[in-house]
Amino acid sequence: MWVAAVRVARGHGRSRARPPQGPLRGKYFLCGIVYVGLVMGGACLVLSFKVLDLSVLSESAYQTIMVQTLVLCECLYLFNVRHITEPAFNQQFFQNRVTFAVLGILVPLQAFAPYVPFMNRSPGTAPPEAGQWIRPLLVALFLFCVVVIVYCITWAVLCKRAGRLGVV
């Protein structure tokens, strides 16, 4: 999935190079990873304790729903991670064909895997019912929306700072 997210950033080569001893990623990048992890983990906990009825679900169905939730969150986050400070929906959204190719392979495999008997044995999963897919999808969409909102706010702040400093 990492290959699908890689692209040369706009303005690449115009900024100063980082110091040789400096970190590869800045504090903003690390904070982004932490907050996305917290939102994803928190949403999964809410799904686990408040939404899913554990008295009705088997343990294997519960495990399947939680794994599918995490995978769907990562799939939708793939669109946001391509731009660290810009919104996901911009002019370059459809330009990275690798992203869509990876998702075109990953999503059917993830959807198909719980229903194949030999793929259920080792991880102890079970095929969820059709209606149970909506909850992981909603959690993933929630994460996507939260990240888009944060990136839009970040982009607005950066544009405002650039305007104040006279930098375009």
- First-to-last alpha carbon distance for the chain, in angstroms, is 32
151's tokens: 């990136």
pLDDT (tens digit, 9 = 90+) per residue, 38-69? 888 888 888 888 878 777 788 888 888 888 88
Q: Which amino acid is at 114?
A: P
pLDDT (tens digit, 9 = 90+) per residue, 6-40? 454 455 445 555 566 666 566 767 777 788 888 88
Q: How confident is the model at residue 1 (pLDDT cuts 50, 70, 90)?
A: very low
pTM of the model: 0.71
Q: Is the pLDDT of residue 167 over 50?
A: no
Q: How far apart, in Å, are the Cα atoms of 166 and each of 17, 121, 154, 155, 163? A: 21, 61, 18, 16, 5
| Rounded Cα gap, residues 13 and 34, in angstroms | 28
